[in-house]
Amino acid sequence: MYVFTMENIGPVVWGEEKYQPFKFPPPYLWYTRHLSTCLGHKIRSGYAKLSFLSTLARRSHHAKVEGDIKKSQLEVIDNDMKLLELQERMVTLPAQGQDRLGSAYTNSLRCLALFGAGVSGLWGCSMIACSDEAEHGLAVPNYPWPHEGILSSYDHASIRRGHQVYQQVCASCHSMSLISFRDLVGVAYTEEETKAMAAEIEVVDGPNDEGEMFTRPGKLSDRFPQPYVNEQAARFANGGAYPPDLSLITKARHNGQNYVFGLLTGYRDPPAGVSIREGLHYNPYFPGGAIAMPKMLIDGAVEYEDGTPATEAQMGKDVVTFLAWAAEPEMEERKLMGFKWIFVLSLALLQAGYYRRLKWSIFKSRKLVLDVVN
């Protein structure tokens, strides 16, 4: 007949023995018991998968594993002081450890073979997909945008200059129908400046009391003016090609910011043997190579208010910053929020881990004794 007895390591008098008061172990001892569990095995076999290290690791690991198996036998009771006493009473089981490691080794070898096959297959497929430049356009380099880092804001002076470039160079063909004048307030212009800018355009407004449509000067709440009435008019004026709306263009194109900058500054003569028909222009970054838009950014095309020299690259950088802001005006708030929340939640994760370990420590340190009665 068998009887279960459970001994909690706590201030409990059990029979005539008095146990030591339980001590919650420090964090560096929290996971030492796990080396003999399945988690420990997974960690070991995963480590063994590194092909050029596996043999070396195995040899050095053999010596370590025997020591760990000894230790894990002790840590049924996870109490530092008992560790010292019980070490003498230890029975070492090296043969058992070897068997376990042997099957783990063949397992890890199979896993390594499968992994290698998968990787080589994937690599082969990707190489085929990436080879067609004419289809995808020339790959654009990654430029070091000032607003690139996790805590980097837009350069607001650049947004202002970029809006100026858009207004004077691009707005004759490209609409930005999702941006209103009021979006610029507090970002690139003061309220008075924006009101003055809006008042320069004429806006058609809804029926008056007599039922007639009328025109009025623009207000802050009006959207940016559209160059063409509809898409057909835009196509007709541009040889059949529709100049896309630029409100979201940096999000609507793959690697949008770098792509737009590369495109605007990438006009060049076609290579020998490539002929572009009349009405189109050669641009290697445009998929297909033949784009309907001519080169618009020419040195000195715009005179900046703050006196910055208006080179082609400067105008390209400013207009792309402006377009990036237009597509993602929430970026600064998003980055701040993300940084704060991830920081605080990481601390909360540490607290939650500690609290869980604290509450579970009673159960993790208990000992079940199976005993024969009579």
Task: Out of 42, 64, 251, 340, name the contact with another protein by CB under 8 A.
Answer: 340
- Determine the Cα–Cα distance for residues 298 and 295; give it in Å rounded to an integer: 8
Query: Is residue 170 annotated as involved in ligand binding?
Result: yes
Does residue number 182 form part of the binding site for another protein (CB under 8 A)?
no
Taking CB under 8 A as the criterion, which residues in 284-303 touch another protein? none
| Sign of the torsion angle spanned by Cα atoms 331, 337, 340, 344 | negative
Q: Which two tokens stand for residue 181?
A: 């004048």
Taking CB under 8 A as the criterion, which residues in 6-25 touch another protein? 17-18, 20-21, 23-24
Task: Out of 29, 43, 134, 196, name the contact with another protein by CB under 8 A.
Answer: 196
Written as one letter, the residue type at 5 is T
Q: Which two tokens stand for residue 203?
A: 């806006």
Q: How close are the terminal C-alpha atoms of the chain, in Å?
A: 7
Among residues 222, 243, 223, which one has the least CA distance to residue 233? 243
Q: Which residues pair with 214 in a beta bridge?
A: 205
Residue 11 near residue 19, CB atoms below 8 Å: yes
Question: Minimum distance between the CB of residue 131 and another protein, rounded to whole angstroms?
Answer: 40
Residue 132 vs 193, nearer CB to another protein: 193
Cα torsion through 111, 117, 123, 126, rounded to 10: -100
Contact segment (CB under 8 A) with another protein among 57-65, 94-102, 287-295, 337-345 equals: 337-345
Residue 360 near residue 172, CB atoms below 8 Å: no
DSSP secondary structure of 50-77: -HHHHHHHHHHHHHHHHHHHHHHHHTTS
Q: How far is CA 324 from CA 84, 249, 263, 318, 369, in A?
A: 64, 8, 15, 10, 68
What distance separates the 2 farthest-apart alpha carbons in the chain? 108
Q: Which residues pair with 368 in a beta bridge?
A: 6
Residue 306 vs 371, nearer CB to another protein: 306
Question: Minimum distance between the CB of residue 144 and another protein, rounded to whole angstroms?
Answer: 14
Query: Is residue 174 annotated as involved in ligand binding?
Result: yes
Question: Minimum distance between the CB of residue 370 and another protein, rounded to whole angstroms?
Answer: 18
- Determine the Cα–Cα distance for residues 157 and 201; give it in Å rounded to an integer: 24
Does residue number 342 form part of the binding site for another protein (CB under 8 A)?
no
Among residues 113, 161, 187, which one has the least CA distance to residue 105? 113
Q: Which two tokens stand for residue 356?
A: 């869980």
Tell me, residue by residue from 128 to 167, as one string, x for binding to another protein by CB under 8 A and - for no binding.
------------------xx-x-xxxxxxx--x-------
Task: Out of 29, 130, 134, 336, name the contact with another protein by CB under 8 A.
Answer: 336
Contact segment (CB under 8 A) with another protein among 96-104, 223-231, 309-317, 336-344 equals: 336-344
Residue 269 vs 306, nearer CB to another protein: 306
Does residue number 42 form part of the binding site for another protein (CB under 8 A)?
no
Count residues binding another protein (CB under 8 A).
39
Residue 249 near residue 327, CB atoms below 8 Å: yes
SS3 196: helix
Residue 278 near residue 163, CB atoms below 8 Å: no
Taking CB under 8 A as the criterion, which residues in 355-374 touch another protein? 358
Query: Is residue 1 annotated as involved in ligand binding?
Result: no
Question: Minimum distance between the CB of residue 369 and another protein, rounded to whole angstroms?
Answer: 13
Task: Out of 168, 339, 345, 364, name the contact with another protein by CB under 8 A.
Answer: 339
Query: Is residue 176 annotated as involved in ligand binding?
Result: no
Task: Out of 190, 215, 221, 232, name the contact with another protein by CB under 8 A.
Answer: 190
Contact segment (CB under 8 A) with another protein among 42-50, 65-73, 339-347, 360-368 equals: 339-347
Residues that bind another protein (CB under 8 A): 17-18, 20-21, 23-24, 26-27, 81, 85, 146-147, 149, 151-157, 160, 186-190, 192-193, 196-197, 305-306, 336, 339-340, 343-344, 354, 358
Q: Which residues are annotated as a binding site?
A: 170, 173-174, 293
Q: Which residues are annotated as a binding site for heme c?
A: 170, 173-174, 293
